[in-house]
Amino acid sequence: MVFKKINELLEDRKKRKEQEEHEIKQVDSHQEAEEIRIAEDLKKDADRLVNLKQYKVAIDEYHKALAQYPQKEPAFQKARDFLFAVHSGIAHSHHSLHQYKEAVESLDEAINLHNLEAEFKAHALFEKGSYLQQAHHSLEEIKSRHKKEITVEKEFTETEKKREQLEKLADKIDLIKESHACFLQAVELMPHNADFWYAKGHMEVLQGHIKQALHSFDQVLTIQEHYHNKHKVELFDEIKREKGIRIVDTEGPAYKAKTGHLVKDRAEALIANFLFEQELLFQYNVALPWHPDVLHANFYVPKLDLYIEHFGKLDDSMFEKINSYKNNSKSVIYTTLEDEKKMEEILKAKMKPYLLKEA
């Protein structure tokens, strides 16, 4: 009887302990579920802010989502997907603010997530390589701009800050070499992706590794015969000719503006649409009187007697053209590739003196 009573007491105590543990787990599970819900809501807010181009605030919201999320070491796919999306969102936001170092660091957080799917990792590596490549070209453009003497307008005060940020990143790593390493890893993970092979080949050309570039570009054309040579790499076109693949001329008008004008690219369409919305009549691709057979302006606004140019890259021809306006006492403003993301804002600022003069 005594043993039976003791066993009953022990069994009762065991049941109570199990019940307590079950209740604690339920509380923990409920709390974790609530934390996940809050974190996901914060991420949705951040995503919306990105769509509205409010990148600084978006970064803050993404970090709040990370701080709130309970699974810091994700054991499940859902957690990995969430953390990958948040780190990628932070990277995109930093990149949109031209903060390349922070963008690359955020992508590294995404790439290094435990047991990340190969497809996700490959695309993140491709994105990282693209950021490093853009950082290299931006730094080269800024250095080129500073070598030239142009007094048409003051340089943006942000230029020096941007140069400083890019040089810090370039001091830390070899931008082209590291970019190539990212593209190499990407093709190893997804060998049937033409974009990855093309990017890898482009970096090999820049490094002077022509034999490797030949192999990469051969892979591109095997996967997609009529792949667009987006960076206008001469070797790529030569390989196309060697293989008898027709090279399509992509230099002609490809975008239609609100005015009905067919323009060369998206940036020119943005400029044309802005002028239309400001009710400013303009002429497109107009010959310059002092060089009618050589130079053409992207846009001319007769009402303001103002020329507008857009340059996809900053090279000697761009500086020569700007100086040509200056030497002939003509008013001109210009935009570059990096202005495309905030074209309306840039144009408003640059055209303000001419609009005020007209008013």
CA-CA distance, 87 to 65, in Å (whole number)?
Answer: 10
Helices (H), the chain: 2-51, 55-68, 77-96, 100-111, 118-147, 158-172, 175-189, 194-206, 210-223, 234-242, 266-277, 316-327, 343-358
Q: Which helix (H) or strand (E) holds 233?
A: none
What pTM does this model have? 0.60
Strand bridging mode 306-311 / 331-336: parallel
- The single residue listed with the structure tokens 């990370």 is 66
CA-CA distance, 137 to 181, in Å (whole number)?
Answer: 17
Q: State whether residue 240 is helix, strand or coil.
A: helix
DSSP structural state of residue 315: -
CA-CA distance, 165 to 134, in Å (whole number)?
Answer: 13
- Model pLDDT, residue 149: 46
136, with CB counted inside 10 A (0-12, 13-18, 19+), is: buried
Residues 85 and 107 sit within 8 Å (Cβ to Cβ): no
- Model pLDDT, residue 2: 45
- Model pLDDT, residue 8: 59
CA-CA distance, 63 to 342, in Å (whole number)?
Answer: 25
CA angle 149, 154, 158 (to 5 degrees): 110
- Model pLDDT, residue 1: 46
- Model pLDDT, residue 208: 92
Residues 6 or more apart from 228 whose CB is under 8 A from it?
Answer: 250
The dihedral through the CA atoms of 43, 44, 45, 51 has a sign that is: positive
- Model pLDDT, residue 98: 80
344, with CB counted inside 10 A (0-12, 13-18, 19+), is: middle
- Model pLDDT, residue 16: 58
Q: State whether residue 303 is helix, strand or coil.
A: helix
> What is the mean pLDDT, run by run of 10 residues, along the chain of 359 residues?
52 61 48 82 91 89 90 75 91 87 91 88 92 79 56 47 58 79 94 93 93 95 87 90 78 70 86 90 82 76 91 75 84 88 91 80
Domain ranges for the chain: 255-358
What is the domain class of 255-358 according to CATH?
Answer: alpha beta
CB count, 10 Å around CB of 64?
16
DSSP structural state of residue 260: S
